[in-house]
Amino acid sequence: METAERIVEAYVRYVKHWATIANIKCANNQEIDLLAIGPAPDERYHIEVCGSADPSFRTLGGRGLAEFITKKFHSPPVAKRLAEYGFCEGTYKKLIVHWDWAPEAEAAAGENGVTLWSLPALLAEMACLVSKRTEAFPDDTLRTLQILHRAGVLAIGKEDAKEK
C-alpha cells in the first residue's frame, strides 16, 4: 500500500469511523485502493487515491480525471470485483482523493457521480485530531503525525483543516 493510501485509510478509520478493506486485487493488474463502510446502511464508498508528491502531478485536470474514472471506476475487472464485495453500481459512493484539481475536473467529477477530497485537507484534519489527544494511536500514520506534532515540527490549527 502506498503512503497516500495509508493516510486516507487512517483518515476514514479514525476520523470518519468507517471500516475498510484496502488494496483489493483485480484482473488485468488492476486494483481497488480502498473500500469503506460507515455505520449507516447507505455509507459505502469506493475510494481511489492519487497522492503523488511530484508537483507536476498535483493538480488533476479534466482529461486526467476522465481517464482515471474510466480506468478505476468503470473497468470490467474492477466492477466484477466490486460486485463480489456487494458493491453494485448505484449502491455506493465514488471518491477520489487528490492534492488539488482544476475547475473542469471538479465539474467532470460531479457529472460522473464522483466526489473529490483534498489530501492536504485530510492531513490537516488528522493533525488537528492528534494534536488534541494525549494517548498514543495504534495506527502508524496517526502516530507519526502525533510524534511530529509533539516534536514541534507539525504545527496545525483548526482553520487549516477546512475542506477545499
Judge whether 71 lies within some domain: yes
Judge whether 109 lies within some domain: yes
Judge whether 72 lies within some domain: yes
Judge whether 9 lies within some domain: yes
- Looking from the CA of 25 toward its CB, the CA atoms found within 13 Å total 3
Q: Give residue-wise pLDDT tens across range 34-48.
A: 999 999 988 999 999
Q: How far apart are CA 31 and CA 28, in angstroms?
A: 9
The parent domain of residue 13 ranges over 3-121
Most confident of 21-35, 96-110, 119-133, 142-156: 21-35
As beta bridge partners, residue 115 has 95
Q: What is the pLDDT of residue 117?
A: 96
Q: What is the pLDDT of residue 89?
A: 92
CATH code of 92's domain: 3.40.1350.10
Q: How far apart are CA 43 and CA 95, in angstroms?
A: 12
Question: In the structure, what pLDDT confidence band is assigned to residue 53 with cuts at 50, 70 and 90?
Answer: low
Judge whether 127 lies within some domain: no
As beta bridge partners, residue 94 has 46, 114
Q: What is the pLDDT of residue 110?
A: 93
How many structural domains does the chain have?
Answer: 1
Instruction: Please state, for a pLDDT cut of 90, what percent of the chain lies above it.
Output: 58
Report whether pLDDT(7) > 50.
Answer: yes
Report whether pLDDT(68) > 50.
Answer: yes
Judge whether 58 lies within some domain: yes
More confident residue, 49 or 128: 49
More confident residue, 85 or 53: 85
Report whether pLDDT(151) > 90.
Answer: no
Say if pTM beats, i.e. exceeds, 0.85.
yes
More confident residue, 32 or 61: 32
